[in-house]
C-alpha cells in the first residue's frame, strides 16, 4: 500500500466517527471535573498505551498552568505494573482492572474503556463492575464495537477493521478532546496558525 492510500483510508475513517458521541464524551469529562470525580482509563496493548497517554493529557495537558489547584483527576489503570502483575499472577489477567476499580473507585466516577475489539474479558469485567456500582462507562472501540459498544453508557466507535489504524484514530480523538476541554475550561483556543 502506498502512503497516500494509507492516509486516504485514515482520513476516511476519521470522517465516519459520530461527532455527537465525541461532544457527549467531552461533556461527561467536564461534568466529572466539575463534580471532582475520578476518571479511570483502561485498555490492553496499544489501547493500554493510549489509556496511559490520555490520562496524562487529562491530568496535565488540559490545564497547562500547574498553579491551578482544581485539576482533572484522571488515572490510567494500566500503569501500576507491580499491582497489575500481582493481580494477573494470583487471580488471572481478566481481574487486573476490576480489582483496581474495587480499590480506587466510587459511585459517580467515570470509566473510559479503550478496546479495539470491545471484547477483552478484563475490560468487560471492569465495565460490569462499574455499571453495578454507579460508575458511568464510555467505550472507545474499533471493528464492530463488540460487547463494549453494547454495554457502555456512551459509545465512541471507529468502524474500522484494522487495529493499528483504529488505535491511531482513537489517539486523534483523544487529542481533540483535550484541546476542546482546554478551551472549555480556560478559553484558550486551538492555534490554527501552526499549519502555516
Task: Give me the pLDDT at residue 188, please.
Answer: 87
What is the pTM (predicted TM-score) of this model? 0.95
Neighbours of 21 (CB within 10 A): 16
Confidence (pLDDT) at 53: 98
* CA-to-CA dists, residue 56 to 59, 118, 121, 178, 194, angstroms: 5, 23, 25, 10, 23
Could you give all domains of the chain from N- to C-terminal order, each with its CATH number? 3-62+70-187 (3.40.50.10490)
Query: Is the pLDDT score of 173 beyond 70?
Result: yes
Reply yes or no on whether the pLDDT at 127 is more than 60. Answer: yes
Residue 131: predicted pLDDT? 97
pLDDT at 189 over 90: no
Counts for the chain of helices (H) and strands (E), in that order: 8, 5
Give pLDDT tens digits for 10-20.
999 999 999 99
**Residue range 99-112, pLDDT digits in tens:** 999 999 999 999 99
Distance of CA 187 to the CA centre of its chain: 23
Summarize pLDDT for 68-92 with one digit per residue, the tens.
Answer: 999 999 999 999 999 999 999 999 9
pLDDT of 195 higher than 90: no
- 42, 113 Cβ separation under 8 angstroms: yes
Q: pLDDT band for position 196 (50/70/90)?
A: low
Flag whether pLDDT at 194 surpasses 60. Answer: no
Mean pLDDT of the region 25-44 = 98
Amino acid at each position: 500500500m502506498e502512503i497516500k492510500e494509507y492516509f486516504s483510508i485514515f482520513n476516511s475513517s476519521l470522517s465516519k466517527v459520530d461527532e455527537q458521541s465525541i461532544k457527549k464524551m467531552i461533556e461527561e469529562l467536564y461534568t466529572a471535573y466539575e463534580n471532582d470525580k475520578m476518571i479511570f482509563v483502561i485498555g490492553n496493548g496499544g489501547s493500554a498505551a493510549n489509556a496511559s497517554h490520555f490520562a496524562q493529557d487529562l491530568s496535565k495537558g488540559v490545564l497547562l498552568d500547574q498553579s491551578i489547584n482544581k485539576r482533572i483527576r484522571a488515572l490510567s489503570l494500566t500503569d501500576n505494573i507491580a499491582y497489575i502483575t500481582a493481580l494477573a499472577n494470583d487471580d488471572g489477567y481478566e481481574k487486573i482492572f476490576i480489582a483496581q476499580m474495587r480499590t480506587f473507585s466510587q459511585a459517580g466516577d467515570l470509566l473510559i474503556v479503550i478496546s479495539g475489539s470491545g471484547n477483552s474479558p478484563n475490560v468487560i469485567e471492569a465495565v460490569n463492575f462499574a455499571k453495578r456500582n454507579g460508575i458511568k462507562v464510555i467505550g472507545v472501540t474499533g471493528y464492530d464495537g463488540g460487547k463494549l459498544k453494547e454495554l457502555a453508557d456512551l459509545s465512541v466507535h471507529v468502524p474500522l477493521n484494522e487495529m493499528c489504524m483504529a488505535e491511531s484514530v482513537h489517539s486523534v480523538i483523544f487529542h481533540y478532546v483535550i484541546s476542546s476541554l482546554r478551551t472549555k475550561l480556560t478559553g484558550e483556543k486551538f492555534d490554527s496558525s501552526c499549519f502555516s
